[in-house]
Structure 1
Amino acid sequence: MSGIQAAGQHRDDGALDTVLRLLWRRRRTVISPALALMAMTLIAGAIMPRHYTATSVIMLDRGQPENVTGVAGVNPALPREPVSILGEIEVLRSPAIISALIKAEDLENDPEFVPALALSESTAWLNGFLAALKPEPDPIPLGASPALHAVRKAISINQMNRALVIGISVSTREPSKSARLSNRLVELYLEHQRQARTEAVMSVSSFLNDRLETLRQAVNDADAKVTAFRSTHGLGQNGEISLAAQQRTDLNNQLVQARTTRVSTEARLERLRLAAHHDDLENMPDVLLSPTVQNLKAREAELSRTLADLNARYGEKHPYIRDTRAQLEDLHRRITGEAVTILRSMENEASIARIRERSLTAELRDLENQRQTEGEAMIQLRELEREAETSRALYQTFLTRMKETGSQTGLDIPDTRVVSRAPVPDRPGGTPRGVLVIASFFVGLLPGLVLAILVERLDRRLRHPRDIPQKLGLHLSGLMPRETAAPRNTVPPGSTAEELRALIARVWPAGDAPGPSILGVTSTLPGEGKTTLVYRLGQVLARSGRKVLLVDADLRRPALTLLATGNPVDPDHSSAPNLMSVLAGTQSPESSIIRLQQKSLFLLPGAIAGAVAPDLLEGPGFMSLLRYMQDNFDIVLLDAPPVMPVADARVMARFCQTMLFAVRWESTPSDAIQQALELLDASGAGVPLMAVMTMIDLRKQATYGYGGYRKHYSAYQEYYAY
């Protein structure tokens, strides 16, 4: 295997190596968004003013008693649930508190919070641009201060460490202003809490006074109704009729017991009847529990053992056996009779249970009818007593609450205390600009990585040698490195020569088969290195002793002539011997073919034929030329035009014994190559195709993980010699 071919082998260095190579290959795509974001951060940091943040800390007093009496009253401490703490944070951010702060500190005349005061013609465009980038602010309530939104944005209120502690931060452009506003906001919040407690006490006191008078009258009315009802119905003080209630209770208990007995007896009777229906009555538990049946079953088991013993000793007709069997049959009849007797007894028990249940039901119904009047009176009396008791309990509750409220009037126990006042900050708040710039660079790498991966996935160009057989279905015959200098009048580089020798060994293998004498070289599109491939291949073939003819067969844009001789093709094809004049019959092949610097390398110059090129290639002149070339040269290399632009290569393929298909590395999309191959197949030439990957950038190929040739080239380049 040659050097370049070895370079084309894939090196599986793992996922990390693949990712690193992709990042290096697409480094500009990865870094560009990061640099752009970093530049935007630098510009924004230079434009935006610095802010100083001052923080004061308050705590909801956990140990404060709820009221002086120890009973829940109208001055409760703040709830301790997190939801309520968040509610207090919203109170601190409420328009009422913020508006009071604006008024106390005269912030309506502060340019920092009212941008219109600082707006000038020189900065109007910048402020407008920055305002357009900001999200839409919350709507300002009707009649509120124009500084309300800006002040709310400058204030940050958070619960600290999941405790009953709240931090109140204010960020402005002046350190002293930040501390002053934070401390003033705490003072306004505490004053707001005191006013709220005072208003709550006054409101509750007024409500309790009105409610107590109403409840007092309700209690008196309820007691009067109970007394009048007892007098009307002749009920005692306790309101009970003990004898009637006890009789009903006893009858109810007896009825429940009778009903339970009846249900149980009927269930046992139903099981016995079902067993009798299936001739299995003697095996039921109620039957088996009978002492008589147990004795008969024991006797039956003893006779069964005796019969088994006799069967083992005598024949079936022995008198002992017949006598024993007769005894068994008699026992079975007695057991069946006893089971039927038990069934009849169970039926009697069920009938007695039903009669008893009906009797108790009738007695209870009569007693209920007799005592219905007394029962209804008792129900009404109990209802009146419950209403009176409820009114009395409610009145007592409100009376107690009224006393507690009176004891707390004028007593204000704060439920919030200041942990620390806001000091004047000595440095700007927020993240340092240097850290932001560095962070923006790394954040910008993320879209760069996504873009690089997307570009890599959407890239349809061929890079790896295995892409040709996998994506195109062609046999890869060789690789051609890219040459930086013009190849005219130079020998092939050592690596290129070795690859060409490997290609020759595949096209013309050693053995009895001579190999193709007419070889066409084409490509999908122009600029894929096919002309250089023809010229270099001819040089190596001629050096091996073969007589080689290079034919500049591209009658639209001939390039081989300029590459081999340095002379451009004359547009007036009639003035010089060339392929056009030979096909037209105006020149002979002998007079048109020229010898190049190598003695066994010859060239038939090209010409520009235009649209008539396919007609010339299908004419008799081209067939005569092919016969002449086969008779006088060992190998003929045709530099055919590309397949996609014109049909010349498809026509020429019919006369070639083999076609080399040049595929430019990392250039031609695979779908375009596939279309070209379909066009060649549709032409009906049926010529064997062998692919050659051309113009390979060894340095760049190494970044894909399968271009190790350049890495080791210095170790064995001295072995190359053309």
Structure 2
Amino acid sequence: MDLIYLFKSLMRRKWLIISCTLMAALVAFLLTLEQEKQYRSVAQIATGFTVIDQVKLKDESFNIYEIDVKFSNVIEALKSPRVLGMTSYNLMLHDLENPEKAFHIPNAEDRKTDIYRTLDRQKAIKMLTRKYNDEQLLSSYDPEERKIQELLKLYRYNLESLRNLLYVGRVQRTDFIDIQYWSVNPELSAYIVNQVCTEYLRNYESSRNELTVQNIETLKKLVDQKRDELDAKIANIKIMGTLDVSVESSSKLEQISNFENRLADEKSLLNSAQLTLQQINIRLAEMNKNNSQSNNATSSANTELSSLRTQMNETYTEYVNKGANDADLYTKYQKLKSDYKAKLAAMASAAPTNTVGNTLADLQQKKSDLELQVKSSEVNIGAYEQKIRQLNSSMGAAASRGANNLALQKEVELAQQEYESIKSRYDAAVNNKIAPMDNFHQILFGQPAVEPEPSKRLIIIALAAVAMLVFCCIAIVFFEYIDLSIKTPTQFLKVLEMKLLGVVNRINPKKVSLEEIFTDPHLKKHDSAVFRELLRKLRFEMENSGKKTFLFTSTKPREGKTTIIKALAYSLSLTHKKVLIIDTQFPNNSLTRDFGAKPVLESFNSSAGNFNADQIKKLITESSLPGIYIIGCQGGEYTPSEVLKQGNLLEYIEKLTPHYDYILLEGAAMNDRADSKELIKYVDTLIAIISARSSIKQTDKESIAFLQGLQDKFEGAVLNFVEPENIDI
């Protein structure tokens, strides 16, 4: 759907749009005719949110989002039921206690109400005074308080009435809040804005004091609780001790390092002694082999010497195993050693002097010394390793004790932080009670207005007219959008994709006759003139087709087939053509009724041998229009194949073509009946009539698919009922 079509749709309904717009303006004019003059009064409150001029208890950063939330809270509080309720009670007390200076005087209708007539003035004053002093709202469940609420509504001091005329908002980019009120009484407007400020400050002060006391008590309990927890944790860490594990660990690490160094040295000595001992054993084995005979002579001496050496070694081993601390064993060891050396020296002096003997004794002495050194080194290595293991074990215990100390210290630090946080909040709450953080005060007091506010009557009327204009345009566009009808030839070609034979606009044949449309030279009616020219184009297409028998049908009923057939017949007759119309629409024989034709189609029957054109003359009815003839049908709920027998008139239609230039047939709608499909075999071609007001549904698509399947026998479609301004081809 293009913009040009929508614009044309709006232009077609321009008078409707104009009349609705004028009607809306007239209604707005009448509604504002008795509009009362309104007087506005303004008061302002400074909040102190953005300009901090009070004593600062702690450093705070400027948070714009938090400031906005605070302003919103204050605005809602100013419009809250509690503040406006106290304001309405004060207004009601003012009017009841000072009737001669009352802001609102009930009219005659209000005075006739039961609430006003049965009012106990003193009782009402007493109840309102009590509620106002206690800052309590009236209850709807109490009958007496319910009467006071009805009285407030009568005086228009109820919550809804005040809120409708009250404006509360922040003055942009400032620290101030505007309170504005409109009423017919300038003094009432000033009184209300000032009273709203007073009631808000009063309500805020009482609420702040109540909340502050509650907060201080709650925070005091939390402070005591956190202090007790902190004391308990400090006592626990005192019980566990405060040993510096790092010092102990450093000392033990140093000892381990010393023992490891000594262990390495001892292992080095052991390896050296073992290697030397292996070499001496090899040399002794060689010497024993070479001197076995000499050794036999001195075997007894050697046995004694061996026994001394054995005793000496056992004594040394026992001495080492007992910790090398036994003096007796050490003395015994020294004695055995000296005996061993003395015996060895005696054997050396008694033996023949030779180099080999001296060498053997030396090697045996060295072997003995080395074996003693090996055993001593092994004992020392074992002692060092055991000591290192003990130190490592004590290091693990110290680390565990240190971890416990660190965990306890962490708990103490966390408890200290929690205690300090709660304590700071408690101190701030106590200080806020003395020096409040907020600085609310009224900086502008409302004054009675001298001049009333502009009525804005013209603006209201203009807005009403514009709103109705826009609404009408949107409504028309909306209905055009949801309207799925074809409307224009362009839309027809886009949706149906079938040959468009011609376009016919909508006319009312009851207001203008066919003779007038085609013969009146002074015809000035635009739609009729357009209809005439479009029909002439359609007539040209029919004449140019070279065919003589035409069946007119449609997909659905009431598409305008009858009107187009009559108009085409008359248009053809104006070109001196003879036109025969055969009414084959049995369900609705409108052509027969319109022309007053004889209903003879169903009854005619003739054999091929007996048929001649003269037989048809008595069946034909000549119409009042020159050159147009018609054969009517009786009509009924039957199809052509059911009512027309063999030898019917349609079987001889080709024999009538020499006598008539064109023969036109009308068939029933294809969506509902099969009449047109049965009549196709009798004609040369078929023309479909489709209304521009119709929408294409599934049943229409099936019928159109059938027509397109006829190929050359389907001449095309005629788009009927098109608005003249929608003819875009």
Could you tell me which residue of structure 2 aligns to residue 263 of structure 1?
none
Counterpart residue number, 1:420? 444
Counterpart residue number, 1:83: 69
State the identity %. 15
Tell me the SS of whatever aligns to 1:455.
Answer: helix
Q: Which residue of 1 aligns with 2:714?
A: 688
**Unpaired segments of 5 or more residues in structure 1?**
1-13, 74-78, 125-137, 234-238, 257-355, 708-722
Q: Given the alignment, which residue of 442, 446, 456 partners 2:466?
A: 442
**Cα deviations across residues 172-191 of structure 1 (Å, max 9, x unaligned)?**
34221011111122233344
Pairing partner for 2:456 from 402, 425, 432: 432
**Paired position in structure 2 for 1:179:** 190
Q: Which residue does 1:568 correspond to in 2?
A: 596
Q: What secondary structure sits across from 2:663 in the alignment?
A: strand
Q: How does 1:578-597 map to 2 (within 5 A)?
A: 579=601, 588-593=615-620
1:101 aligns with 2:93: no
Query: How far apart, in 1, do the equivalents of 2:396 and 2:659 lie?
Result: 138
Three-state SS of the structure 2 residue aligned to 1:637 is strand
Find the counterpart in structure 2 of residue 149 from structure 1.
159
Moved more, 160-169 or 34-43: 34-43
Relative to structure 1, the CA distance from residue 103 to residue 639 in structure 2 (aligned partners, 3 Å threshold; closer, same or farther) is closer
Judge conservation of contact 1:525–1:644 (CA < 8 Å) in 2: yes
Tell me whether 1:167 sits opposite 2:178 in the alignment.
yes
1:671 lines up with 2:697 in the alignment:
yes
Name which of 565, 579, 582 aligns with 1:534.
Answer: 565
2:634 to 589, 608, 614: 608
SS of structure 1 residue aligned to 2:41: strand
Which structure has the bigger radius of gyration?
2
Contact 2:708 2:714 in 1 (8 A): no
- Residue 629 of structure 1: aligned partner: 656
Aligned to 1:461: 485
2:391 to 349, 356, 363: 363
Question: What RMSD over aligned residues (CA atoms) do the two structures have, in Å?
Answer: 6.2
Following superposition, the deviation at residue 165 of structure 1 comes to 1.1
What's the CA shift string for 1:439-489, capped at 9, x where partnerless?
Answer: 244344555445333422332333222444544454221223445621148
Displacement of 1:46: 5.8
String of CA shifts for 1:564-608, please: whole Å, max 9, x gaps: xxx6347xx5xxxx6567559999213444667898x35134253
Distance (Å, rounded) in 2 between the aligned partners of 1:36 and 1:436: 14
Q: Which string of whole-angstrom CA distances, capped at 9 and with x for unpartnered residues, describes residues 274-318 of structure 1?
A: xxxxxxxxxxxxxxxxxxxxxxxxxxxxxxxxxxxxxxxxxxxxx
Three-state SS of the structure 2 residue aligned to 1:632 is: coil
Q: TM-score, normalised by structure 1?
A: 0.56
Give the deviation of 1:658 after TM superposition.
1.0
Gaps of at least 5 residues in structure 2 are: 60-64, 97-101, 116-136, 153-157, 258-383, 521-528
Gap change, CA 1:701 and 1:181, over 3 Å in 2: same
Given that 2:81 and 2:159 are in contact with CA atoms closer than 8 Å, whether structure 1 keeps it comes out as no
Cα deviation, residue 422, structure 1: 1.3
The one-letter amino acid of 2:682's match is F
- 1:335 corresponds to which residue? none
CA distance in 2, matches of 1:454, 1:391: 66
Contact 1:57 1:418 in 2 (8 A): yes
Distance in 2 between the 1:47 and 1:504 partners?
66
Q: Deviations over 1:245-282 (max 9, x none)?
A: 534346679999xxxxxxxxxxxxxxxxxxxxxxxxxx
1:373-409 CA-to-partner distances (Å, cap 9, x unmatched) read 9x8999999999999999999999899999979xx97
The alpha-carbon deviation at position 92 of structure 1 amounts to: 3.1
Secondary structure of the residue that 1:437 maps to in structure 2? helix
CA distance in 1: counterparts of 2:587 and 2:419, whole angstroms: 116
Q: 2:726 aligns with which of 691, 696, 701?
A: 701
- After superposition, what is the alpha-carbon deviation per residue over 1:509-561, rounded to whole angstroms, capped at 9, x for unaligned? 48xxxx33322223455654434433443455455565543444455655556
Evaluate the alpha carbon distance shift between residue 657 and residue 183 of structure 1 in structure 2; reply closer, same or farther with a 3 A threshold: same
Q: Deviations over 1:199-257 (max 9, x none)?
A: 78989999999999x99x99xx989x99xx99x99xxxxx9878x7534346679999x
Q: Do structure 1's residue 92 and structure 2's residue 78 form an aligned pair?
A: yes
Q: 2:46 maps to which residue?
A: 59
The residue identity in structure 2 corresponding to 1:53 is R
Q: Structure 1 residues 678, 483: closer, same or farther in 2, change over 3 A?
A: closer
Aligned-pair CA distance for 1:58: 1.2
1:57–1:419 CA contact under 8 A, matched in 2: yes
> Counterpart of 1:661?
688
Write the mapping of 1:359-398 to structure 2, written as runs, cut at 5 A. Answer: 363=391, 365-366=393-394
Cα distance, 1:509–1:253 mapped onto 2, change above 3 Å: farther
Query: Alpha-carbon deviation of 1:692?
Result: 1.7
Give the count of matched residue pairs.
540
